[in-house]
Chains A and B, each alone.
Chain A
Amino acid sequence: MKHLPLIGLLSAMLCVTTTAEAHHSFAMFDRSKTEMIAGTVKEFELINPHGWLRLMVAGADGVQSEWPLELGGAGQLQNIGWTQNSVHPGDKVAVQFHPLRDGSYGGQLISVTLPNGTVLGQRLQ
């Protein structure tokens, strides 16, 4: 128990680092809004400067559309448990994200719920 403050401090430092590392301002994402969609993973890239998760999402008319969702950098994500095998093409997932301001398909990922119920976020959980 005596280590809890230290753990808390380290966690806070990692969260701060995650923000400080961002190479751009995320201006195109409306971070005042949070939306959820479900879809099928088309591609997952754990890369720098930002990872990307591409989902195929069915619209009301049944037409599938591609939704690119931006993640943090590879190093940031690995620090909080993401790996190249965290998400696979074909996985049915649900995501929380900040939408694009102009209404385009895509956004900034907040968290993804995997088929087994595991939730991966962009911050220490």
Chain B
Amino acid sequence: MLICLTPLAALAQEWKAYPYPDAGFAIQFPAPPTVEKSTFRTAAGVSLAMTRYSVRQDRGVYSLSVVDFSSTNADEKTTIAETEKSMGAAGKVTVAIDARVNRSFGRELSLNGTDGSRSAVAIFFVDKHLYTLVGEALPPNAIEKSGDSIRFQESLQFIGANGGFGGFGGFDAGRGRGGFNPQAQTACAGKAIGDAVQLTTPDGQVAATCTLVARPNRPSPAPPGP
């Protein structure tokens, strides 16, 4: 089995991965994000807890809002459609397309704002949580910074029991090549390539080696049969 590690942060001069396992995602920002808690009002008038992670830097604004719909009966399709409609009202939609992150399907938009801004938007509904990502390049000449908006959009990963693949929430479910693994990142933080670490799996401790990818020295045991 291969466990793919998260980016070695030191290799990136600016952009760095920020994992939020409790919120079920990891994403890259060009600087440490500000985390703000507020409420989100649904189309039905229900107020829900929302957490917004954002960075404003160098004519770019990068934000991801996570709204907890777990207390509602909201379904994925309707929630994404309503959010897309709401986001689309903020400008001219130049691209609207189905998209996938890990095993989750959602929508991605490109928006040209009336103020000359350009935004890359991603909308996903995972584990009863609405994720709305906006990478906005500000005017003037927003097109010059719009590539970073896409970079931000493309760095979103879902982690945890259902959203990701290869994380320890889905360690066994994701047998085979994995994706983001916050434990592996933590274990190798501050260590050199080639250093040995121990990872805890649902089946016990696994020896691993820090590199750009960590390869366990033995495969994870198969789960017990029925």
* B contact set with A: CB distance below 8 Å: 2, 4-8, 11-13, 15, 94-95, 97-102, 108, 110, 118, 120, 137, 143-151, 153-157, 165, 177, 179-180, 212-213
Q: With the chains together, A101 CA to B153 CA distance in Å?
A: 14
Whether B99 and A27, one on each chain, are in contact in the complex, defined by CB atoms closer than 8 angstroms, is yes
Whether B147 and A23, one on each chain, are in contact in the complex, defined by CB atoms closer than 8 angstroms, is no
Chain A residue, CB-CB nearest to B164: A23
Interface size of A by CB at 8 A reads 33
* A contact set with B: CB distance below 8 Å: 17, 20-21, 23-25, 27-28, 43, 45-50, 52, 65-68, 70, 73-75, 78, 84, 100-106
Residues of A near B150 (CB, < 8 A) are 28, 68, 70, 100, 104, 106
A-B pair number, CB within 8 angstroms: 124
Q: With the chains together, A24 CA to B118 CA distance in Å?
A: 22
Whether B179 and A28, one on each chain, are in contact in the complex, defined by CB atoms closer than 8 angstroms, is no
Chain A residue, CB-CB nearest to B146: A104
Closest CB in chain A relative to B84 CB, distance in Å: 14
Whether A17 and B177, one on each chain, are in contact in the complex, defined by CB atoms closer than 8 angstroms, is yes
Residues of B near A105 (CB, < 8 A) are 143-144, 146-147
Residues of A near B213 (CB, < 8 A) are 48, 74-75, 78
Chain A residue, CB-CB nearest to B137: A104
Residues of B near A50 (CB, < 8 A) are 154-155
Q: With the chains together, A104 CA to B108 CA distance in Å?
A: 15
